[in-house]
Amino acid sequence: MRVENLPDEFITALPILTTITNAGYEAYFVGGSVRDTLLGKPIHDVDIATSAYPAEIKALFKKTVDTGIEHGTVMILDHGEGYETTTFRTESGYTDFRRPDEVTFVRDLSEDLKRRDFTINALAMRGNGEIVDLFAGLTDLQQGILRAVGDPKERFHEDALRMMRAVRFSAQLGFTIEANTQQAIKSEAHLLAKIAVERTNVEFSKLLLGKDAQRGLLEFAETGLYQYVPGVISEHELDIIAAATALENVRLTSDEQAWTFVVSQLGLDEAATMAFLKAWKHSNDLIKTVTNANRFIRTYKAQAVVTNWDLYSVGADLSIALSVLQITQVDFPVDQLQQAYAALPIKDKHELAISGQDLIKRGVVKPGPMMGKVLAQLEQGVVAGEMVNEPAALLAQAAKII
């Protein structure tokens, strides 16, 4: 098979391939960019595999960076672009179930491709667009099947994160995990506990954002991988989340929205939400956003009505909270709540017409805890519409509070 119209990203990189092949070495485009091109999807990074050893690559190009030279990877810099070029290699010994203990450079493409995770990722493409398919990856791509290269147990022992990649690809591509591959995930799922949480987090987040998140979540549950991730989630809870993702017009579009959706479906309160997200090693910013949005969701679900203070408290995270509520709430008044938020007298305490310094200068209050209490009451009064946000009016109200 040959790709007739190469994407611009490949055309731009062709001089790299040409330089390598003209020097007598083999060079191919490999990895996700080849797969996505065949699927008609946009591509991002272009990766190159070659029979040339790192020192030989560095001798061919003026500008290179040793990004992973111990594993055969050299970044070639060309016209403002960087191209990761990796020598064909074999790997052995995976004591941490993540990275090889030993890498051996080879000249044979087949030796390199057979160490890759799935057949759809073991495709190579020559500069003329011709596809090299040694493991029936094209057939699997056409049939929507995710199959490990060779013995799936071996592939997962080499890198246990590949099991999470399997369910993630299932969600992103809508592919079915081949029976032997799925069975191997079930039997080796316990190895996921050896993988850093941060890496598992990345894969699960991508799964949630996949076009067929329901499929990925059900595979995540069925294979038993869910038992080896932070913050215990039961198979039943996963089924509930998966069912919600299958609702009409549901498509999660950001990490913040996706994780807000998850904690909301799990029914977690504020303390449990923070503990859950910390266990997943999320950033403080994401934890703050998700906790804030979920607090609003819980308030709305409990009361079916929200106050100005509720809207003010959720602030800019309202859009995330509303998007999650829309997924499961029938006839949800999103426009009404957006308008109510837009109409708030202030949206941040810094918009108050007076400050603590103003109170001190006017002799209303001395520095200390009382000043904070007065400002808090003024803030609440303005947000509720009970006080006018003007200096004179607020000073008068402050004097009454004292």
Q: Which residues make beta-bridge pairs with 155?
A: none
Q: Secondary structure of 154-216 in the HEC alphabet?
A: HHHHHCCHHHHHHHHHHHHHCCEECHHHHHHHHHHHHHHHHCCHHHHHHHHHHHHCCCCHHHH
Whether 165 has a binding-site annotation, put simply, is yes
Reported residue count of the chain is 402
**CA terminus-to-terminus distance, the chain:** 82
What whole-number distance in Å separates Cα of residue 328 and Cα of residue 322?
11
What whole-number distance in Å separates Cα of residue 300 and Cα of residue 289?
17
What whole-number distance in Å separates Cα of residue 223 and Cα of residue 237?
15
Q: What angle do CA 186, 189, 194 make, to 5 degrees?
A: 170
Whether 45 has a binding-site annotation, put simply, is yes
Whether 8 has a binding-site annotation, put simply, is no
Whether 147 has a binding-site annotation, put simply, is no
Whether 108 has a binding-site annotation, put simply, is no
Whether 159 has a binding-site annotation, put simply, is yes
What whole-number distance in Å separates Cα of residue 283 and Cα of residue 86?
32
What whole-number distance in Å separates Cα of residue 186 and Cα of residue 120?
21
What whole-number distance in Å separates Cα of residue 83 and Cα of residue 311?
47
Whether 80 has a binding-site annotation, put simply, is no
Q: What is the CA radius of gyration of the chain?
A: 28
Nearest CA-CA partner of 82 in 12, 173, 167: 12
Whether 35 has a binding-site annotation, put simply, is yes
What whole-number distance in Å separates Cα of residue 289 and Cα of residue 268?
15
Token pair 């950001």 is found at: 254
Q: Are 167 and 175 in contact (CB under 8 A)?
A: no
Would strands 89-92 and 81-87 be described as parallel, antiparallel, or unpaired? unpaired
Residue 83 has phi, psi (to 5 degrees) of -125, 115
For helices 235-245 and 213-222, the axis angle rounded to 10 degrees is: 170
What whole-number distance in Å separates Cα of residue 311 and Cα of residue 374?
21
Enumerate helices (H) and strands (E) in the chain, giving the number of each: 20, 11
Token pair 């595979």 is found at: 219
- Binding site per annotation, positions for ATP: 32, 35, 116, 159, 162, 165, 168
- Binding site per annotation, positions: 32, 35, 45, 47, 116, 159, 162, 165, 168
- Binding site per annotation, positions for CTP: 32, 35, 116, 159, 162, 165, 168
- Binding site per annotation, positions for Mg(2+): 45, 47
